[in-house]
A = this chain, B = another copy of it.
Amino acid sequence: MARGVAETAAGLAAVARAFHARGWLLGTSGNLSAVVERQPLRIAMSASGVDKGELRPEQVLSIDEDARVVGRNGGKPSDESLLHIRIVKERGAGAVLHTHSVWNTILSDFFAADGGIKIEGYEMLKGLQGVRTHEHAEWLPIVENSQDMTALADTIGETLNKHNDAHGFLLRRHGLYSWGDNLAQAKRHIEILEFLLETIGRTLRIREQAI
């Protein structure tokens, strides 16, 4: 198992470096995880408060289903570990990624009253697992932000159940969560959703002016 975490850590570090370069994990924000073992559940996860542009192997922790650290690495698990674990359980995800981008922050607030953002008619949507046409309508739910992680995990569990087809969700004025069967798929989903959010954000401004 320790070997599994070490191997996974390199993959998480590569994604972290790439997303930090794009400005999606600035200021030690965001976090990344990947399932190493299902029975018992063991998740490799970036420790709290580390610079994602230079995530080192020893900054990747192994946690169990209660977000307790297992094994040698001594960092502190992120408060948001409970959200990662919940997503792994609800969706059977193999990897969960959470980014703080300027555009996801802005749109998570702008559309908060609607409870989510409908994204429809873009070819880019076809990159989301199971989507076969640009005519797909993706609903990206927005959940109110909170510091009570137990309550927030429950709200997210309900949201995931209510929106069975959602490939991600936004926390208001906080960030984006997405996931996948494995790390590559989770990375792909984040890139697609970030792209679409930027596209929608920039379109808003042109549309309004053109009217």
> Chain B residues near A127 (CB, 8 Å)?
27-29, 49
Interface status of A6 (Cβ within 8 A of chain B): no
- B110 pairs with A132, CB closer than 8 A: no
> Chain B residues near A195 (CB, 8 Å)?
23, 26-27, 29, 100, 102
Interface size class of A (residues with CB under 8 A): 35 or more
Interface of chain A: mostly helix, strand, loop or mixed = helix
Given contacts A110-B206, A132-B147, A209-B204, contact A198 B102 (CB under 8 A): yes
- Can you name 19 A-B residue pairings with CB atoms under 8 Å? A18-B53, A26-B195, A28-B188, A51-B184, A100-B124, A102-B198, A105-B122, A105-B124, A105-B199, A106-B199, A106-B202, A106-B206, A109-B203, A123-B175, A124-B174, A134-B147, A134-B173, A204-B210, A208-B210
- Contacts beyond the supplied A27-B127, A27-B191: 7 A-B pairs with Cβ under 8 Å: A26-B191, A27-B188, A28-B127, A29-B192, A29-B195, A105-B122, A109-B203
